[in-house]
Structure 1
Amino acid sequence: MNRRVGTPRGRLVAVLVVTMTVLVAEFVGALITGSLALLADAGHMLTDAAGVAIALTAASLALRPAAGRRTFGNHRFEVLAATTNAVLLFAVGGYVLVEAVRRFDDPPAVPSLALLLFGLAGLAGNLVSLRILYPVRQSGLNVRGAFLEVLGDALGSAAVVIAAVVIALTGWRYADIVASLAIASLILPRTWRLFRESVDVLLEAAPRDLDLAEVRRHVLGLTGVLGVHDVHAWLITSGMPAVSAHVVVEEVEGTSHGQLLDRLCDCLRVDFGIEHSTFQLEPASHRGHEHAAHD
């Protein structure tokens, strides 16, 4: 694999091509067989393809430099893309649940051989996509979301294959409905996790893996620091945390605070992996001027 294809962007492009190919095959298969499970898997792949396309667009926009009112650049487009993808997945999962309940009264006959062939084709395509994304699966919200979606698709295709085998061996028509419900159960929980993480970023919640009490303790342990308050932590986008804080410092005549500021930034960078930090250094006498909302 050449260097360009080996990047997260190149791998997403490759996965998009594979996913679109399998999507067309499964959609045709759903029309031919009348299988709800195959239609659910095709619908899931449609959202996968849309999600990857959105992720690629977001990645391109994020590369544009900060300008004008967008002082952080376009990094939040990745988060908006992940949120949109989650909403689409919720819609697909909800449709499958409603249609499955409707079909329970009179499950249609589904040709098992055709269902098996289309299911195997979908499974093969998903395994190829998983192999492409696995090395970069933790490189960002959208890449991780795409990896989880393809993993869910692979399990969904496996459910289609199992349903086809059950129908062929026993003639049990409910197998297709059960498989579609299994696919929906795979879609919805992981979609909720992706949605929750994306909304956390949009609401500027503190990163889940960052202990603010520990940050305070590290800052207070630095020589020359008397106190710290108004500490805020958020994610600009996945993998890009930021912290701001007011730091109360000793008032020593002739002392430069430049070195202390360097130590504060180094503390967050080395101990917590935070590259973007902003500190307001203030004397103890400034406390009376702080806004009442500050902690």
Structure 2
Amino acid sequence: MLGQLDERTEVLAMANGRSHGHDHGVTATHANRRRLQVVLAITLTAMIAQAVGAWISGSLSLLADAGHMLTDSAGVAIALIAAHLATRPATQSRTFGWQRAEVLAAMVNAMVLCAVGVLVIREALLRWGAEPDIQTGPMLVAAVVGALANLVSLLLLAGARGQSLNMRGAYLEVFGDLVGSAAVIVAGVVIMTTGWTRADAIASFAIGALILPRALILLKDVADVLLESTPRGVDLETVRQHITDLPAVQDVHDVHAWTITSGVPVLSAHVVLDTRGAGEVDPDLECATLDALAACLEGHFDVEHCTFQLEPAGHLRHETGVHR
């Protein structure tokens, strides 16, 4: 019976122009790898310029911004490597391939950001009582170079920021860098015009304060994927209602929805068919219902990979651990 169901499901999928195999195509990060490669090159160049500027000027805030850009570069590099791994084909031991590699990369990136944020805030607090000699000329030049580089990178990533955790993480990091560079510029102007060197420590603290919340939000999103939480935008009660509204469906239970990686939501459910007293499911009814279920989930909820177990009425009493 299961073999027959799989065969019919495959036929229906081919008729609808899609495959029910495990080839999910490229991930969002891989699709935007060219943008990420350009952003990586720009960010590394600006980071070197800021690190040199921090060494010459003695500015902690510029060094903090350079450190932030270094973690961004590492994060983009990790995302590119993970995106390459995610395109590797599925196997018998990894039926979804390496698509979760992108999520693991986002987790590493978020953890590094957390560490950098804490370190920057700590150094800013330690420097509060000091009166460092800061050369504002090199500080401002390096900060402006960083701001321009971040602005270009931000424009490159803007169109892809909603496609995956990694793309959103990269966009937020570059945005944070842009704000950080702006803070360094403001601090440099204040020091140049007033001589108040504590502005450098305040800018450093602000950069650390920008890093930590974004890192924690990214960690939460990664945890949602790894804990297989219901994807955003998928209301399971609404899904159940749509399924039970189909003419041949009597009930639905054991509904699960989760995310393999960003942009790849999946769903499974046990669907009870109205057998009209026949005691077993009619093959034609199976095919028509599977077709309607797939069309409904893809059209209303943007879920293409679905697995349905079709059951006759009364089969529920043979199952254990059933939930809604």
Q: Taking structure 1 as the reference length, what is the TM-score of the superposition?
A: 0.95
* Deviations, residues 1-59 of structure 1 (Å, cap 9, x unaligned): xxxxxx61111000100011011111112222221111111111111101110111111
Displacement after TM superposition at 1:68 (Å)? 2.9
> What is the CA–CA distance in structure 2 between the aligned matches of 1:189 and 1:211, rounded to whole Å?
27
Partner letter of residue 307 of structure 2? T
1:69 to 89, 93, 99: 93
Displacement after TM superposition at 1:189 (Å)? 1.2
2:251 to 214, 223, 227: 227
8 Å contact from structure 2 (residues 190, 196) kept in 1: yes
Partner letter of residue 181 of structure 1? F
The alignment yields a C-alpha RMSD, in angstroms, of 1.4
**Aligned residue-pair number:** 290
2:307 to 278, 284, 293: 278
1:259 to 288, 297, 301: 288
Displacement after TM superposition at 1:74 (Å)? 0.8
Structure 2 residue 179 is matched with structure 1 residue 186: no
Partner letter of residue 96 of structure 1? V
Structure 2 residue 173 is matched with structure 1 residue 149: yes
* Deviations, residues 116-144 of structure 1 (Å, cap 9, x unaligned): 11111111111111122222222322112
> What is the CA–CA distance in structure 2 between the aligned matches of 1:51 and 1:65, rounded to whole Å?
24
8 Å contact from structure 1 (residues 160, 176) kept in 2: yes
Partner letter of residue 258 of structure 1? C
The residue aligned with 2:7 is: none
1:49 to 73, 87, 96: 73
> What is the CA–CA distance in structure 2 between the aligned matches of 1:210 and 1:292, rounded to whole Å?
23
Q: Taking structure 2 as the reference length, what is the TM-score of the superposition?
A: 0.87
2:274 to 250, 268, 272: 250
Q: Give the secondary structure class of the aligned counterpart of 2:94.
A: coil
8 Å contact from structure 2 (residues 113, 212) kept in 1: yes
> What is the CA–CA distance in structure 1 between the aligned matches of 2:167 and 2:263, rounded to whole Å?
12
Q: Give the secondary structure class of the aligned counterpart of 2:314.
A: helix
Counterpart mapping for 1:24-63 below 5 A? 24-63=48-87
Structure 2 residue 27 is matched with structure 1 residue 17: no
8 Å contact from structure 1 (residues 29, 115) kept in 2: yes
The residue aligned with 1:138 is: 162
- Structure 2 residue runs of 5 or longer lacking an equivalent are 1-30
Partner letter of residue 311 of structure 2? E
Displacement after TM superposition at 1:293 (Å)? 4.9
Identity of aligned residues (%): 53
> What is the CA–CA distance in structure 2 between the aligned matches of 1:289 and 1:39, rounded to whole Å?
65
8 Å contact from structure 2 (residues 121, 209) kept in 1: no
Displacement after TM superposition at 1:110 (Å)? 1.4
> What is the CA–CA distance in structure 2 between the aligned matches of 1:107 and 1:185, rounded to whole Å?
22
2:260 to 225, 231, 236: 236
Q: Give the secondary structure class of the aligned counterpart of 2:246.
A: coil
> What is the CA–CA distance in structure 2 between the aligned matches of 1:87 and 1:110, rounded to whole Å?
31
The worse-fitting range, judged by mean Cα deviation, of 104-113 and 247-256 is: 247-256
The worse-fitting range, judged by mean Cα deviation, of 253-262 and 81-90 is: 253-262
> What is the CA–CA distance in structure 1 between the aligned matches of 2:230 and 2:155, rounded to whole Å?
33
Partner letter of residue 266 of structure 1? A
> What is the CA–CA distance in structure 1 between the aligned matches of 2:101 and 2:131, rounded to whole Å?
43
The residue aligned with 1:4 is: none
Structure 2 residue 155 is matched with structure 1 residue 126: no
> What is the CA–CA distance in structure 1 between the aligned matches of 2:270 and 2:202, rounded to whole Å?
57
2:320 to 279, 286, 291: 291
> What is the CA–CA distance in structure 2 between the aligned matches of 1:56 and 1:289, rounded to whole Å?
47
The residue aligned with 1:200 is: 224
Partner letter of residue 105 of structure 2? A
> What is the CA–CA distance in structure 2 between the aligned matches of 1:213 and 1:109, rounded to whole Å?
62
8 Å contact from structure 1 (residues 76, 236) kept in 2: yes
The residue aligned with 2:24 is: none
Counterpart mapping for 1:70-149 below 5 A? 70-149=94-173
Structure 1 residues 289 and 166, CA, compared in 2 at 3 Å: closer, same or farther?
same
- Structure 1 residue runs of 5 or longer lacking an equivalent are 1-6
8 Å contact from structure 1 (residues 93, 188) kept in 2: yes
Displacement after TM superposition at 1:93 (Å)? 0.2
Partner letter of residue 260 of structure 1? T
Partner letter of residue 187 of structure 1? I
Displacement after TM superposition at 1:284 (Å)? 2.3
Structure 1 residues 220 and 31, CA, compared in 2 at 3 Å: closer, same or farther?
same
> What is the CA–CA distance in structure 2 between the aligned matches of 1:38 and 1:213, rounded to whole Å?
50
8 Å contact from structure 1 (residues 8, 139) kept in 2: no
